[in-house]
Each structure stands twice: as C-alpha cells, then as structure tokens.
A and B are shown apart, each in its own frame.
Chain A
Amino acid sequence: MAGGGSGDGEEPEFQIAPMIDVLLVLLIFFMSSITKQVARVDKGITLPIASNASKRDDARDESIINVRWDAATETAAFTFEDQIYPKLDPVVPLLARRQSLTQKHRIVIRGDRLVPAEQISLVMSAAAEAGIADITFAAAPR
C-alpha cells in the first residue's frame, strides 16, 4: 500500500488495509459473542424477570430444558436438544447419561413466564429421577 504522507502537501490516500483489519475484528467479535447464545434461544419463550439473579455461568456443563406454554390450548411442551417432547419420560435417560459423564452437570430450566408451576415441577421431578440435584432457573435480568 502506498503511504499517505501529508508532510509534502499531498492529499492523504484512503487506507484500505487498516479498514479491513477493523472490519474483521468486529466480525469476529460479533460472531463469537452470538454463536453460543443463538443456539439456546427459543423465541417462543418469554422469560420471567428477576433483578437479583446472578450472571450466567457459561463455563459449566449443562442441559437446557425449554418449557413452552401455549395459552390458547393451555398445553405445555418441553424442548431438549432441539427436540420437542410432550412428556418428559423419554428425556430422563438422556439426562441420566449426561449426568454419568460429568458430576458437575446441571439442568437449566427456561420456562415461559406464564407456564403453570406444575409443569416446572415435572421438570424438577425428571431431574431428580435422573439423579441431578443442581437446578438453575433462567430469568431475564430486567
């Protein structure tokens, strides 16, 4: 690249190389910050708000169970690893297997704010059946 020296009175030339550098850095930043979060977002779920909730610990091994609520039909649906389950019985062995691999495994319950408490209780029962005691409730901080 030709230098844009301004000392001799010439107009500085547009520098393309630093611009590409900045663009690539921005691109990598947005890609790395989004990829992990997009994977678990279920847009059909509105999380309840908890202002005192702690920051997410992404480093831990976890299984995320989404609990959707259809207010029109008054039915709940559970999503685990991109599969929808009307009941949690088939999920229990999957959870138990993951628990056997790592002892620091936890379950994150991402429930819609309007889901009846009994549906959340079913998820906790499934966790207990799989031998997992570490339960985390996902919430929006504001």
Chain B
Amino acid sequence: MSRHRKRRHSEASGDLGFQIAPMIDVVFVVLVFFMSLAASVKIEAELNSRLPGNATTSASVDFPDEQTISIEVNGQVLLNDDPLDGPDETALPRLTQTLLRLKQNSENARTTLLVTISSAPKAPYYRTIDVLNALAAAAIDNVTFTVDEGF
C-alpha cells in the first residue's frame, strides 16, 4: 500500500528513484564481457633457470659433473654428441630417461650435475623448451645456455 503511494509520489515529482532493471542490464553486459575475456586468457607456466655467476677462488671448488646437450638447426637433440630421439619428437623420452639416470648417478656420487644447452643460432626456441622440459622432469636445475656458432 505504502509502496504504491511512494511510486505515485515519485511519479508526480518527476523523481524516478533507483532503477534496478537497467542496473542488472549493465551488470550482465559487464559480466558477459569479462567471461568472454576469461575464455581467451591462456594459463602460463614457467621453467626457471639461473645464469652462471662468478665463483670465489679462495675456497676449494668441487668440479661439477658436466653434460652438454646440443640442439641442431633441424631440431635434432644430441647428448654429448650422441643423437637422442627424433627431431620431431617433442616429449624427448630417451633424453628424459638418460637425464633421470644421470641425476641419480650424481646424487649417489654426491656431485653437482651441470647441464649446458648448446643451441645452433637458428634452431627454433621451442626445441630449447623441449630440452628444458626434459630437464625439469629429471629435476635438474643447474643449466647454462650457449649459442654455438660452430653448427
């Protein structure tokens, strides 16, 4: 009853009051905008690495167990000049298995496993990521990078 009276009063005075319907319209439009934007957003992951720094020479230095992974222009991956997996194999199963074994050996021998990725200058970046992915699977985080002009 009082609501009707209030509405009549507001109509008479020209004051429309708070309109809920346009507000819901606007909220819906904004919601649909953000929902459509959410569909296009890609989730990103990360592969971490540290660049090599300067070592202090006053203390004794343990020589690390160093392995070199080379990447050729066609995407062929070599571990210590030994070709492993095909150039089109993104999962690199043989490399991953070998790295897991090397990691196990270095842990048993209590040495640090250091891996150097030496890539051909024109080798595609995704191949470097494939190798880093294999290193992440083997939990190897001592990685250095070089671009070898000798390829």
Contact = CB atoms under 8 A, between A and B. Distances in A.
B51 interface: yes
Interface stretch (A4-12, A45-53, A84-92): A45-53
A54 B45 contact: yes
A83 interface: no
Interface string A55-99: 111000000000100000000000000000000000000000000
A34 B46 contact: no
A52 B124 contact: no
A124 B129 contact: no
B43 A135 contact: no
A66 B126 CA distance: 15
Contacts of A34: 34, 37-38, 41
Contact of A23 (B28, B41, B45, B128): B28
B123 interface: yes
B35 interface: yes
B92 to A, nearest CB: 11
Given A48-B126, A136-B46, A27 B71 contact: no
Contact of A116 (B124, B134, B146): B124
Contacts of B147: 117-118, 121
B55 interface: no
Contact of A120 (B38, B47, B128): B128
Interface string B84-109: 00000010000000000000000000
B49 A136 contact: yes
Interface string B115-151: 0000111111111111011101100000001110000
A56 B125 contact: no
A120 B122 CA distance: 11
Interface of B: 20, 23-24, 27-28, 30-31, 34-35, 37-38, 41-53, 71, 90, 119-130, 132-134, 136-137, 145-147
